[in-house]
Amino acid sequence: MSKEIKVPAVGESITEVTIGQWFKKDGDTVQMDEVLCELESDKATFELPAEAAGTLRIKAEEGDTLEIGAVICVIEESDSGVKAGDSKSEKKDGEPEKKEEKSSKSSSSKTGEVKEMVVPTVGESITEVTLANWIKSDGDYVKLDEIIAEVDSDKATFELPAEASGILRHVAAEGDTLEIGGLICKIEVTEGEPSSSSSDSKEEESKSEASSAEGKENYATGHASPAASKILAEKGIKAEEVKGSGKDGRITKEDAQSAQKSAPAEKKPEAKKEEAPREAIKVAGSREERREKMSSLRKTVSKRLVAVKNETAMLTTFNEVNMKPIMDLRSKFKEQFKEKHGVGLGFMSFFTKAVCVALQEWPAVNAKIDGNEIVYNDYCDISIAVSAPKGLVVPVIRNAEGMTFDQIEKEVVRLATKARDNKLSIEEMTGGTFTITNGGVFGSMMSTPIINAPQSAILGMHNIVERPMAVNGEVKILPMMYVALSYDHRIIDGRESVSFLVRVKQLLEDPTRLLFGV
């Protein structure tokens, strides 16, 4: 019986591969899972394992370009894994029997089952993810539920656990964007972990093969991978000018990136020649550039911010707040507050409480447009903008209108910590009826924040600066903060936006009003 080996799917965007090098010759006897050849795509190099034991019949040569699914070779299977009468299976000083024994011993734990892992559903609004990082390498043994990779969505980073125990085979490469349900890897299921002696013997065999092949030139020698070829072409460098550091002298992507174009030989000046023009002044320094692929989070934020600017009638109104009453109150009670509640008393709890009171008095600021209808919310889910390592995220404090000062402060600390550790869940970033952003922590004096759609308004806090202010006919130095309210003029009128911000100013400058609701 013959087994056709076809070019496997190695990524959603990859439609063809090139045969880089055959490790086995036509007519050789091969064992199950033994590496037959290398396949090169425009993103990475992959090894092609044997899917059965038997005699190899090669159908495509080194350098051929094949489409996904094309037949690359055929294996003529036999019951014993070695074709009867094959001259290569003849006994010679007992060596064939030992190799067969070793092979059967190392592969005896495999069940033959292959578990295909696909991108899981991570949220209703998420349709694709980016493979951020492989934690486990191709060919590694992984255990059930062991974390093998990290994937990025437009909202958060998720860990991908192994769905079976066995040998990991990568299908997607780091940086690939996959749709939900797309194939990300395969696991060759095994019964138990492979023994160390087996892996050691494989390592010794690979080393001996590498040493025996050293010094011999073949297809790989001086050959650039597709990615390396592209980089060399952009630099205008020929492959012959680059020394490859890969297997058998192959030119890798890293070789191409570090390659420099050789300077042309200097020409001797002619005997009778006019004075050469002065050269431009050359200053020592780096002229290098680097490119980084935009993360899914950054791309999604970019699209949404542009959409908000184009689809809303956004205006911004400003006011200023005397922060001295709040600062005096914090100085008086901060030690007692922290001792009782175990959390510091910050400015965010005062702003959140003031915003909740004002939102209930001016419900249009807490509403949103849905088609031809306006949806008014009788609750206040306050979104807090947090700068995380991978970009801006906006977790939500639910029903903030019913929280006490200490509950708000604890929730702010919890969400900010999870955001900086990239541990926020989809639920914690979904929803929100109004947003507060604090650019003052970075030193911003004034800004016009962009609305967090589909919300209709956002409040911007800024840094506190001591300024001379006229108070009852006298000049006093007071700690002042500019506050800005950006709002959608389609749903919020000027009277409502200005009145809302004035009410927030009134509550912050006299925080005792928050205690009595006046």
Residue with token string 């080393």: 207
Catalytic residue, from 26, 145, 421, 493: name it.
493
Crossing angle of helices 324-341 and 494-509, rounded to 10°: 60
CA–CA dist 368, 360 (Å, integer): 14
Instruction: DSSP for 16-59, please give it.
Output: EEEEEEESS-TT-EE-TT-EEEEEE-SS-EEEEE-SSSEEEEE-
CA–CA dist 424, 426 (Å, integer): 7
Provide the 3-class DSSP secondary structure of residue 258.
helix
CA–CA dist 294, 13 (Å, integer): 17
Cis check for the bond before 325: say yes or no (omega within 30 of 0). no
Q: Does the active-site annotation cover 493? A: yes
CA–CA dist 83, 73 (Å, integer): 17
Cα 381 to its chain centre, rounded Å, is: 28
Beta bridge partners of residue 114, listed in sequence order: 188
Contacts 24+ apart (CB under 8 A), 506-512: 507/353, 507/354, 507/357, 507/358, 508/321, 508/323, 508/325, 508/326, 508/350, 508/351, 508/354, 509/321, 509/322, 509/325, 510/325, 511/325, 511/326, 511/329, 511/350
Judge contact between 459 and 435, C-beta under 8 A.
yes
Tokens of 256: 């191409």
Residue with token string 């509550």: 507
What phi-psi label fits residue 112: left (phi over 0), alpha (psi between -120 and 50 degrees) or beta? left
Beta bridge partners of residue 469, listed in sequence order: 476
Residue with token string 């055929």: 74
Provide the 3-class DSSP secondary structure of residue 473.
coil
Judge contact between 189 and 166, C-beta under 8 A.
yes
Catalytic residue, from 145, 200, 489, 510: name it.
489
Kindly report the number of other CB atoms within 10 A of residue 144's CB atom.
13
CA–CA dist 202, 167 (Å, integer): 15
- By the 10 Å C-beta count (0-12 exposed, 13-18 middle, 19+ buried), 360 is classed as middle
Nearest to 293 by CA among 180, 131, 126: 131
Residues annotated as catalytic (active site), given as ranges: 489, 493
